[in-house]
Amino acid sequence: LPQTAVSSNPYGDSVFIVHKPEGEGPATVAKRFVTTGEVRGDQVAITKGLKPGVTVVTSGQLKLQEGAAIKVNNEVQPADDPSPTPANR
């Protein structure tokens, strides 16, 4: 995952996952505690706490709480490069 998806707190690392309803209605979020592993560039491995294929919130976590309704906006994507390099200036 991009490192921006993980919120670190004194009581553990967590992410918000997105629940999309089958019918009408807004998507909601749920907080999940995770165990992180190796960090490579802008990415961090999640070793426990998530199933493959779930959608994870990568920004705006400070404004969220368990069960909050959200609108998914993928116009801006966080850095997710395993080998980032400085921009040439």
Q: What is the pLDDT of residues 6-38, one digit of tens each?
A: 999 898 999 999 998 888 888 999 999 999 999
pLDDT of residue 59: 85
Question: What does DSSP say about strands 12-19 and 7-9: parallel, antiparallel, or unpaired?
Answer: antiparallel
Q: State what percent of residues in the chain have pLDDT above 90.
A: 45
pLDDT at residue 72 is higher than 90: no
pLDDT of residue 54: 93
Mean pLDDT score of the chain, rounded to an integer?
A: 87
- Residues 8, 4, 50, 81: is their CA dihedral positive or negative? negative
Is residue 29 packed enough to be buried (19+ CB in 10 Å), middle (13-18) or exposed (0-12)? buried
Q: H helices then E strands: how many in the chain?
A: 0, 5
Tell me the C-alpha distance between 9 and 72, whole Å.
Answer: 25
- The DSSP-derived string for 15-56 is EEEEE--SSSS-EEEEEEEEEEEEEETTEEEEEES--TT--B
pLDDT of residue 44: 92
Instruction: Tell me the pTM.
Output: 0.81
pLDDT of residue 89: 61
